[in-house]
A and B are shown apart, each in its own frame.
Chain A
Amino acid sequence: MTRLRINLEKCVACLECIDLCPCNAIQYDQTAVYIDQSCTLCGLCFSKCRFDAIHYKEVLPEKPSTENKMNTAGHKGIMIFGEQREGQLQEVVRELLGEGKRLAVQLDTTVSVVLLGMHTDALAKELFAFGADRIFQIDHPLLDYFNDELYADMIVQVVRQYTPEIFLVGATTYGKSLAPRIASRLDTGLTADCTRLEIDAEKRLLKQTRPAFGGNLMATIICPIHRPQMCTVCPKIMLPIEPDFEKTGQVIKPNIVFSKGIKTKIVEHIKLKSNHANLSDAEIIVSAGRGIQKLQNLELIRALADCLGAAVGASRALVDSGWIAYSHQIGQTGISVRPKIYFACGISGAMQHLAGMMSAKYIIAINKDPDASIFKVAHLGLVGNIEQIVPALINEIKSHYHY
């Protein structure tokens, strides 16, 4: 049943993977290396195998049990969760519409949005402008403010009635809380924080790609038998289309039943300006990683940000070390950003970090290790010690722009 295979033609029995395996699942019987049943498929071994001898492919069960087999043909169309807060559409919804449109063309199908809230007619117009073909609108005072239980109840009913083949949710705090509840009730698959979506048109499959295994590599995931194929998508990665405010579409008011006895109540919503350190709207971001080496050097980063009028970001490593608040964390588990210019200072470039900043228009990396992976994605690289490069940059900027 193990899905990892060792290619014995490539394996040189260096046995490094045996040491590496956290589950002690790799064995050597003097003739060959093999993987036993304690494998949890964490993926550590194959991402580290220097001989590319461990494979993770061809993982579909050879005969999917007919009992589990769902009639996927009955499911058509792409559906999107139209997340709104206080009557404002979340930016990620426009991005999902853009991406949904692109996918829909390949599947020759339509894009619809589930819009929950109160007095949302204006949003419906906006959704059409950004590419929605159909809107499932449920307007009700109880839906004015996000509530996991209620929203999940509504969406599950709409999905069951209108059977989309794909359901996309923005990977916001609400989206990431709501989507697993829906997927769990529908007993379907859910992929978290996707950064790329593609279509296998022949099989009508959504190929969902996300950073995996501690950010060392990307994994492409499919949901072959269950419908809808669900995923949450990182904000600030996909692109919205040019809006066309002349465009209209069909508004459907689905028949739904309100469940009784909702057990969660939002008492208060306290807004704090500093929560995301103004990163999401910043045009320039200066980010620091563990490569800055000393806490004092964070002041250099702040000084560079100051002279550029930039916001300060950080890698997960720096946040985990307690040097800077979580609100500054950029990446898969922090915030995703799309600034015009992104300075990565002392950031090695783990996939999880890249997932949160890859859509920056121009990336400048400063790192003393010329082999750091951040240089593979940077448009401009400066090689050297942060303590020397950053002050030199600040001086140069100040003289160049006549501060």
Chain B
Amino acid sequence: MNIIVCVKQVPASATVAINRDTHTMIREENNSMINPFDLYALEEAVRHKETHGGKITAISMGIPQTEDLLREVVAIGADHAVLLSDIAFAGADTLATAYTLASGIQKINVYDLIICGRQSTDGDTAQVGPSLAEKLGISHVTCVSKIDEISKDCIRCHRLVEDGYEVIEMRLPGLITVVKEINEPRLPSLFGLRRAAKAEIPVWSAADINIDLKLCGISGSPTYVIDTFTPDYHVENEILIGSPEEQAKTAVEKLSEILYTVGAF
């Protein structure tokens, strides 16, 4: 079984706390990390390999420094890692990203299953997985919370839905995106770290993956951000002052009025 795991470098700052007094980030040494959801994808691949054998290739599209994170991915258990990096890929939206990843995966060529995290913590769209499957012409299942079994040409897994879960069978090759309920990701082992230090991580440019420049990066992205803003909600609000008891008393008096006006009872 050949498994491809897609990973993304995301800013660690998105999850780092803000110091409320100075309004600065409480920063750790590294300010980028592997998208946490992708670690579940990697873990699931590693677990499968441990019990059934096979090969895991990690792939990422990103800036050259992503190579360091791909080394971490190798340390955790991927056999190989490939980085797609080219100025032409910058500014890609989900469609252009899916196209670029698909071109890279087509170069890897041999695969049975692709595993992605459900979404990234920075973009948060959850669109690249299904979009990539479409570009490769394979099926997909999103929000996978459990894999029952993987045979040579079929996977049976659980998809988390609003009111429970579905048991789905998909013929391979196929793509799944996983949710964090699926496993508990491991940390790299010492052996893994040593192996990763020596691992060769090829960096493929646009020319290497034979890509149409009009379809990747900013030129291949149909969507544009035209504005960003901090919303002004214009809520007429009242902030209470006083001891907890005084505030509670006023709040509950208000609450009775509100319950009446909004008709909660």
Which residues of A come within 8 Å of B, CB atoms?
A: 1-3, 19-20, 22-25, 37-44, 46-48, 56-57, 59-61, 65, 67-68, 148-149, 152, 172-174, 176-181, 183-185, 187-193, 207, 211-214, 216-226, 263-272, 275-276, 280, 283-284, 320, 326, 332-333, 335, 340-341, 351-352, 354, 358, 361-364, 369-371, 375-385, 388-389, 391-393, 395-397, 400
Contacts and interface: CB of A to CB of B under 8 A. Distances in A.
Classify chain B's interface size.
35 or more
B29 interface: no
Contact of A222 (B159, B162, B169, B224): B224
Nearest to A363: B235
6 contacts: A2-B91, A56-B227, A176-B126, A189-B221, A271-B163, A326-B180
B50 interface: no
Contacts of A217: 228-230
B51 interface: no
B14 interface: yes
B168 A266 contact: yes
Contacts, number: 315
Nearest to A182: B134
Contacts of B49: none
A173 B142 contact: yes
Looking at chain A's contact residues, is the secondary structure mostly helix, strand, loop, or mixed? mixed
Closest 3 CB pairs of A and B: A189-B222, A214-B14, A392-B248
Q: Which one of A41, A47, A190 has the highest number of Cβ atoms from chain B below 10 Å of its Cβ?
A: A190
B162 A173 contact: yes
Interface string B124-141: 111111111111001111
A375 B225 contact: no
B254 A380 contact: yes
B95 A56 contact: no
A204 B219 CA distance: 22
A341 B259 contact: yes
A269 B248 contact: no
B248 A393 contact: yes
A167 B150 CA distance: 36
Contacts of A326: 179-181
A138 B119 CA distance: 31
Interface string B232-262: 0101111111001101110111111011001
A32 B249 CA distance: 56
Given A176-B142, A181-B133, A341-B258, A389 B248 contact: yes
A396 B252 contact: yes
Contacts of A1: 87, 90-91, 217-218
Contacts of A39: 90-91
B133 A42 contact: no
Binding site of B, secondary structure by majority: helix, strand, loop or mixed? mixed
A59 B122 CA distance: 20
Interface string B90-132: 1101110010000000000000000000010110111111111
B211 interface: no
Given A181-B131, A378-B237, A380-B254, A283 B90 contact: no
B190 interface: no
Given A341-B264, A362-B258, A43 B164 contact: no
A353 B42 CA distance: 28
B246 to A, nearest CB: 9
Nearest to A196: B231
A40 B62 contact: yes
Nearest to A393: B248
B11 A59 contact: no
Given A38-B90, A40-B63, A364-B255, 20 more contacts: A19-B27, A22-B9, A42-B11, A43-B228, A60-B224, A148-B141, A173-B162, A177-B143, A180-B134, A183-B95, A184-B135, A192-B124, A220-B228, A266-B167, A340-B264, A369-B20, A375-B237, A389-B247, A396-B245, A400-B253
Contacts of A272: 163-165
A122 to B, nearest CB: 21
B166 interface: yes
Nearest to B218: A1
Contacts of B238: 379-381
Contact of B124 (A48, A193, A267, A377): A193
B226 interface: yes
Contacts of A41: 90-91, 225
A329 to B, nearest CB: 11
Nearest to B128: A180
B124 A352 contact: yes
